[in-house]
Amino acid sequence: MKPFSYQRATSPAEAAAAAARVEGAKFVAGGTNLLDLMKLQIETPQHLIDVNGIGMDRIEPIPEGGLRVGALVRNTDLAADQRVRRDYAVLSRALLAGANQQLRNQATTAGNLLQRTRCPYFYDTNQPCNKRKPGSGCSAIGGYSRQLAVVGVSDACIATHPSDMAVAMRVLDAAVETVGADGGTRSIPIADFHRLPGDTPQIETTLRPGELITAVTLPKPVGGTHLYRKVRDRASFAFALISVAAIVQRDGSGRVALGGVAHKPWRVEAAEQELPRGAKAVASKLLANATPTDHNAYKLPLVERTLGSVLAEAKG
């Protein structure tokens, strides 16, 4: 691990200003992903800004009828909150499908959204990776790609986003609240928060330099049956090969988002119009432009089968 300086911020505005002022600065809260990457020298921040002491750790109702989840709310607390379990069950289920109890106790809402890919070539510093070193190439293209993306990919990157929580947030139409170095705030729809790789896979979100996530807002509950189904190589402590977050109404309509298939949580609203027709019709539109490799082509039928199982469970 390379040397770095450290400070404890006392307010969100101070933290954002410090990040903009010091080149190579990073925020740290739970550190469940960042510290591992620092040990491997994949992340080499010159300055760490500890944001654990600035509040942002509460779940509060908002006037519109939803919830405002502070950026530092731990995954365990969010999954266990009675309002989340009752009105946003897909989110609670997704959180409980992620990592293990010890990590959920430490991991934060904002940090979960900002997880970096678990592509094996990203973690292997002996291999070229455009996400780790822009312009060096993508070893996964033509290499081992069983766990990687099948849709929304580019010639520069076929990595997937690893978060379970983000997939549920996408199906719920959440929004990410931030504060910038100048003290200005904004709200970013979750649909626009994560980016596809394009030619710049190292730029993973629409956050500006120094911008700090302060909260995630959940809109008014939509009701229906909330389900999260995660397919993985082992029963726990494993990232999704594919996952399905769904909210299904009694008439068969609803919402669907996928994890494990793209560089961001994958939702195609037009595909949801096909829900009454069944999983095959929905999957066909969700994966219309898929370009799988020989290693991960199995994900296409797996999406359809898992979605079919979710819809069957929703219908009882």
299's CB contacts (< 8 A; 6+ apart) are: 150, 241, 242, 260, 261, 292
pLDDT band at 85 (very low <50, low <70, confident <90, very high): very high
Name which of 269, 298, 299 is nearest 286 in CA terms.
269
Cα separation, 31 vs 29, whole angstroms:
5
Q: 116-170 pLDDT, tens per residue?
A: 999 999 999 999 999 999 999 999 999 999 999 999 999 999 999 999 999 999 9
Name which of 68, 91, 290 is nearest 172 in CA terms.
91
Q: What is the mean pLDDT of residues 85-90?
A: 98
Whether the CB-CB separation of 259 and 161 falls below 8 Å is answered with yes
Rg for the chain, CA atoms, rounded: 19
Q: What is the mean pLDDT of residues 191-217?
A: 97
pLDDT band at 1 (very low <50, low <70, confident <90, very high): confident
Q: 169-178 pLDDT, tens per residue?
A: 999 999 999 9
Confidence at residue 260, expressed as pLDDT on a 0 to 100 scale: 98
Average pLDDT, the chain: 97
Q: 212-268 pLDDT, tens per residue?
A: 999 999 999 999 999 999 999 999 899 999 999 999 999 999 999 999 999 999 999
Confidence at residue 299, expressed as pLDDT on a 0 to 100 scale: 98
pTM of the model: 0.97
